[in-house]
C-alpha cells in the first residue's frame, strides 16, 4: 500500500488518482464530498466550535472512515490511500494545541486510535510500503486551496489554522512518522496536475523508489 500525505490543498487526491491509474490499482480517497461535518468545521464561529465540538467530531469521522479504507487498501501493495491514520493524529494534535479539541477529547481520540492500530497488527500486512509527502511553501498551499474552489475552505479567518498545520508538518513527517519510508515531492517544483512533463517525472520518481524498496526486501 502507498500512502499520499500533505497539507490541505497540496494535490494529494490528484496525485492519488494519477498514481492509481499509472499502477492499475485501487485508490481509496479521503471522504470529503459526503462528509457531513467538514463544512461545519470550516464555517463555524469560535463560539460554535466550543459549543458543538466540530473539530473533535471531524477527527472521529475521519478516524472511522480511514480505518475502513486502510483495511481494504492493505490487501494490495499497489493500492493508494489518500491520507492515513498516522497523519490524522497530527491534525488532531494541531487542533488540540490550538484549543479546538480539549485534552479529554484528545485522550479519547488517542485511545481509539491505539485500539485501531492494535487491530491492524493482526493483519498479514500491517503498514504502508511507502509514504509520499507533498511538500511546498505556504504561498503555494494557499494558492492551490483557492484554485480548487471549495467555498468553505477559502475564508480568510482560516489562514491561522492552515499556517499552524503547515508549520509543523515537516517536523511530524521527518521526526515522528516511523511506519514506512518517505518520498518527498516538492510541489513548488512539480506541477503534476497541469504539466505533463512534471507528471511523468513525479511518476518516475515514485516508480524508482518503489523498485528500490521492493528489491531490498
**Cell numbers describing residue 50:** 466550543
For 167, phi then psi, to 5°, come to -65, -30
37 CB contacts (<8 Å, ≥6 apart)?
Answer: 54, 57, 58, 61
10 vs 192: CA distance, rounded Å: 11
The active-site residue, picked from 34, 64, 78, 82, is 82
In the numeric block, the cell 459526503 is attached to 34
Told to judge if 82 belongs to the known catalytic residues of this protein, a careful annotator would answer yes
Pairing relationship of beta strands 2-6 and 130-135 according to DSSP bridges: parallel
d(CA 40, CA 35) in angstroms, rounded, equals 10
The catalytic site residues sit at 82
Amino acid at each position: 500500500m502507498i500512502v499520499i500525505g500533505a497539507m490541505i490543498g497540496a494535490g494529494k487526491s490528484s496525485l492519488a488518482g494519477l498514481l492509481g491509474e499509472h499502477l492499475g490499482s485501487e485508490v481509496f480517497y479521503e471522504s470529503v464530498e459526503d462528509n457531513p461535518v467538514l463544512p461545519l468545521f470550516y464555517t463555524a464561529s469560535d463560539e460554535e466550535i466550543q459549543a458543538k465540538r466540530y473539530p473533535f467530531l471531524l477527527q472521529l469521522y475521519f478516524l472511522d472512515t480511514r480505518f475502513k479504507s486502510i483495511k481494504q487498501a492493505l490487501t494490495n501493495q499497489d493500492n493508494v490511500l489518500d491520507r492515513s491514520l498516522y497523519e490524522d493524529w497530527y491534525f488532531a494534535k494541531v487542533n488540540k494545541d490550538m484549543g479546538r479539541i480539549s485534552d479529554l477529547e484528545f485522550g479519547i481520540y488517542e485511545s481509539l486510535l491505539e485500539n485501531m492500530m492494535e487491530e491492524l497488527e493482526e493483519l498479514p500486512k500491517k503498514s504502508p510500503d511507502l509514504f509520499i509527502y507533498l511538500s511546498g511553501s505556504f504561498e503555494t498551499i494557499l494558492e492551490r486551496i483557492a484554485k480548487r474552489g471549495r467555498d468553505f475552505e477559502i475564508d480568510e479567518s482560516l489562514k491561522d489554522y492552515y499556517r499552524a498545520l503547515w508549520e509543523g508538518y515537516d517536523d511530524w513527517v521527518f521526526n515522528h512518522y516511523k511506519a514506512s519510508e518517505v518520498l518527498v515531492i516538492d510541489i513548488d517544483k512539480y506541477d503534476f496536475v497541469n504539466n505533463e512533463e512534471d507528471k511523468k517525472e513525479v511518476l518516475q520518481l515514485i516508480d524508482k523508489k518503489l523498485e528500490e524498496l521492493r528489491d531490498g526486501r
